[in-house]
Amino acid sequence: FQRVLDFCLRHQKVLGYSAVSLLTASSERIFSVVVFKCPCNSWNLLYGSIFLLVPALILFLLGLLLSTRCWKVLTGCCAPGRLSRCSHSSRICRYLKVLWLVVVGAAVAPLTWIAMALLDGQFYECAASGIAIMQGYLCQGKGSQCLKEMLQVPCGGSSSQEVQDLLMSLHAESQVMGWILISSVTMLSLILTCISR
């Protein structure tokens, strides 16, 4: 039991981020299955974008709100006796470093939400089917019927091969963007960890 406790104490931050990511991924899955229903009309873009981005924004703001480090930096309570002896530029650098750590910590849950939502594809499919530029791109050379059916694509209302191809294209784009986000965050984390050490 002591080994497990020591391990948890040594890796408290990583375990905390992992737990937040797991809870966020589970919440996204439940949210997309239970709550999300694409309207399949002119509201597709707004509806899909809100479900993709607003929960991420709320999670980010909650992460900042719950961070004691953030409040210490913003209210100026970061060891006032010691900082008053520091030069002004040194104090600003210290504030920015702490603020950066707070932002990175608060960004774990929103990035997890967006990555999981993109890998699932439902929110993106709904939003992208309502974008005029995307409609023009995906329906290029396929006739005017394709443009009419584009808004119905996320609902699976049509069994035509053309609509199924559009749905597959949107789903593939969403997953590619999700993997790009995950790999970018991983690479950035690796680079920043190497620089800091």
State the chain's mean pLDDT as an integer.
85
Structure tokens at 153: 């694509």
Residue 101 has pLDDT above 90, yes or no: no
Residue of 53 and 135 predicted with greater confidence: 53
> What's residue 183's pLDDT?
96
Which runs of consecutive H residues, i.e. helices, occur in the chain?
2-10, 12-30, 44-65, 68-75, 80-83, 88-106, 108-120, 122-128, 132-138, 144-150, 161-196
Closest CA to 157 of 192, 129, 178, 197: 129
> What's residue 166's pLDDT?
82
Closest CA to 104 of 13, 8, 197, 27: 13
Residue range 118-136: mean pLDDT, rounded: 92
pTM (predicted TM-score):
0.81
Closest CA to 117 of 18, 25, 19: 25
| For the chain, percent of residues with pLDDT exceeding 70 | 92
